[in-house]
Structure 1
Amino acid sequence: MSNDAKILVVDDEDRIRRLLKMYLEREEYEVDDAENGEIALKLALENDYDLILLDLMMPGMDGIEVCEELRKQKATPVIMLTAKGEEANRVQGFEAGTDDYIVKPFSPREVVLRVKALLRRSSSTKFLQTETTTKDVLVFPHLTIDNDAHRVTADEQFINLTPKEYELLHYLAQAPDKVFSREQLLKDVWNYEFFGDLRTVDTHIKRLREKLSKVSPEAANMISTVWGVGYKFEVAKEK
């Protein structure tokens, strides 16, 4: 059966682009490639890709800049590729809106598996299917989270979230009024244990609120800051 996902591979090394393209095309994905950030951003904004594999370190516009500019207009899932495994680079990538992170050197098979996993989680994938017989839906005043379809609506309008934004919202909404620290959210949503820069969580909370508030300020206000502690999902009490 043919996959109808369209993927953009971005790397300044021709060898890596050809290798990833070969492995992804074996899985019958449609693959475009770009050798620098400028070309990548142009392609990403002009086309509706299901996923982007994006190299961090490139001359000119690097992967962080591409991701930051992309996030101003689109929620396309992004996996960042980089030769640097230090905490600071990973944090920088997550803050820019990256959904997953693979450190070079990598196994092409691992990349394919991570691509498949992210496409399954993606809120924008066209071919998402579910085999569950019961509906996994969270319904609140002004906000509905359909976990079977990875679809969020606020006041009956679709909200286009990145996979990580969706996972964060769903995680909070599963436990209304429970306060989560930033460290806990990083560990459980990002599967990332470290005690460094916690702005990754703050950045994603800010983006979530902005997207929701454009449609429903009431829905945005359900994501509540608990000063000095973290965040919680707060459902307004009916008067």
Structure 2
Amino acid sequence: MSDKILIVDDEVEIADLIEVYLTNENFTVYKFYSAKEALECINTTVLDVAILDIMLPEIDGFTLCQKIRSKYTYPIIMLTAKDEEMDKITGLTLGADDYITKPFRPLELVARVKSQLRRYKKYNPAHSEDEETGTLTHSGLVMKLKTYECFLNEKPIILTPTEFSILRILLENKGQVISAEELFHRIWKDEYYSKSNNTITVHIRHLWEKMNDTLNKPKYIKTIWGVGYKIEG
């Protein structure tokens, strides 16, 4: 069964182009030119990845991202019309997993979709064929790798695939400082990182919020300024 990809973009030519490239990769594509049109599909179809343009009529991509993230954990890739850092940060803060700036190379977008799918399938027990049975623990924090569940003081924490991956890497390397660049490459396995990339920073902030942690006195994820992040061993 092919993976199901949602495309929402009011620029018809771009939406159609993305559809062609994804269809050529044997994905099943659900294409819409407005968020209102897409909502019924989102609520009735089991999707694997959503690609959302930010500048949509009536309901923008940020709002649609929030609606999806309130119910589902599948990856969301935001399309930004211009290279504005605030758009990217806002999308990531609302639960998006990745972003790509227009104009983009269609093959780059396909690569991003495949990268997100790899992690989503590994993270989601319904898709996973992973045989890992390990459990990572630290000061009341428990990560179950086989079922991709996370608990803090016995209470479940709902993490996106990206958040789960970051926390797992830090727990597996307790006591070591992992740079944002290394985290980015280990998660996305591509070369799209730049020093101005705030993707990891925003996801770390999300983890702090979900774990009731603070930047000034973190109990779990500590920032080593100018170097990276770590969880004390």
Q: Is the 8 A contact 2:136 2:171 kept in 1?
A: no
Q: Does 1:137 align with 2:139?
A: no
Gaps of 5+ in 1: 211-220
| 1:215 aligned partner | none
Q: CA deviation at 1:119?
A: 0.3
| 2:124 aligned partner | 124
| 2:187 aligned partner | none
> In the aligned structure 2, how far is the partner of 1:193 from the partner of 1:174?
24
Please list, as runs of the form range in 1=range in 2, the aligned pairs for 1:89-100 lying within 5 A after superposition: 89-100=87-98
Q: Does 1:103 align with 2:101?
A: yes
| Distance of aligned partners of 1:72 and 1:188 in 2 relative to their CA distance in 1, 3 Å threshold | farther
| 2:207 aligned partner | 205
Post-superposition CA distance 1:107-149 (Å, at most 9, x none): 222211211111001123855556xx9x483432762342xx6
In the alignment of these two chains, the number of paired residues is 215
User: Taking every aligned residue pair, what percent have the same amino acid on both sides?
Assistant: 30
> In the aligned structure 2, how far is the partner of 1:121 from the partner of 1:224?
21
> In the aligned structure 2, how far is the partner of 1:138 from the partner of 1:82?
38
> In the aligned structure 1, how far is the partner of 2:201 from the partner of 2:67?
18
> In the aligned structure 2, how far is the partner of 1:192 from the partner of 1:159?
30
Q: CA RMSD in A?
A: 3.6
| Distance of aligned partners of 1:50 and 1:160 in 2 relative to their CA distance in 1, 3 Å threshold | farther
Q: 2:195 aligns with which of 168, 187, 193?
A: 193
The letter of the residue matching 1:54 is L
Q: Does 1:175 align with 2:177?
A: no
| 1:213 aligned partner | none
Q: Is the 8 A contact 2:157 2:210 kept in 1?
A: no
Structure 2 length-normalised TM: 0.73
Structure 1 length-normalised TM: 0.71
Q: Is the 8 A contact 1:223 1:231 kept in 2?
A: no
> In the aligned structure 2, how far is the partner of 1:202 from the partner of 1:98?
13
| Distance of aligned partners of 1:136 and 1:112 in 2 relative to their CA distance in 1, 3 Å threshold | farther
- Of 187-196 and 170-179, the range deviating more from structure 2: 187-196
Describe the SS at the equivalent of 1:143: strand
Please list, as runs of the form range in 1=range in 2, the aligned pairs for 1:50-89 lying within 5 A after superposition: 50-89=48-87
Gaps of 5+ in 2: 185-192, 213-217
Q: Is the 8 A contact 2:80 2:88 kept in 1?
A: no
Post-superposition CA distance 1:131-186 (Å, at most 9, x none): xx9x483432762342xx68235499986532211122112212335577xxx44x
Q: Is the 8 A contact 2:92 2:199 kept in 1?
A: no
Describe the SS at the equivalent of 1:45: helix
> In the aligned structure 2, how far is the partner of 1:31 from the partner of 1:46?
15
The letter of the residue matching 1:93 is G
Post-superposition CA distance 1:39-68 (Å, at most 9, x none): 334432332211001111112221112112
